[in-house]
Amino acid sequence: MPDPMPVVLLAALPGIDTLGPAQLSGSACVWCEHAFRPGEGINLGSPGPFRPHGCVLCCEARTNSLSTYLTWYDHTVTCLRCPFGPCEPGQALGTAHLAVRERAGHPPVCCAACRTTIAPGESLRPHFWREEPWPMFGYLHARDCPASASRPTTP
């Protein structure tokens, strides 16, 4: 596996407040807690005192998850059909990404707009936005969020 770009894997890091001392110091994988021998582990870089490292398997899983996400996202922004619900290729790309994401151990998918969990089989789309210090990769319901129907509308 080529060295992943640190900013890419930093975007996939668990919250710093959820990590133990070994993970914070870089002597254990930030995802699976595998303890490293000297020289083992991939340095994910960090702007502060936090020294995140990942094991090869976890880094590969997150890199694959991000790669399938970006392929799906690229399709949805160029496809004329996908804004109205996923086309067949878009559906296949989304299904492939969600399978890779699940194998990577990511938590359930939540809608970035309404913050509800998107159930398996429910139609969704990737949503990318810029947030400092790095890009955010999320998901939205493919059509209107169910929570928006319960919100009162202003006249």
DSSP letters spanning 70-93: HHHHHHHHH-SSGGGS--HHHHHH
The phi, psi pair for 101, rounded to 5°, reads -60, -45
pTM score: 0.76
Q: How many whole angstroms separate alpha carbon 6 and alpha carbon 8? A: 5
Helix axes 88-103, 56-78, angle to 10 degrees: 160
Q: For residue 23, give the amino acid letter.
A: Q
pLDDT of 44 reads 85
pLDDT of 154 reads 47
One digit per residue, the tens of pLDDT, for the chain of length 155 reads: 344 455 455 567 788 888 999 999 889 999 999 999 988 888 887 767 788 899 999 988 888 888 899 999 999 999 999 888 789 999 999 999 999 998 888 888 999 888 899 988 888 899 888 766 667 788 998 877 776 554 444 44
pLDDT of 149 reads 52
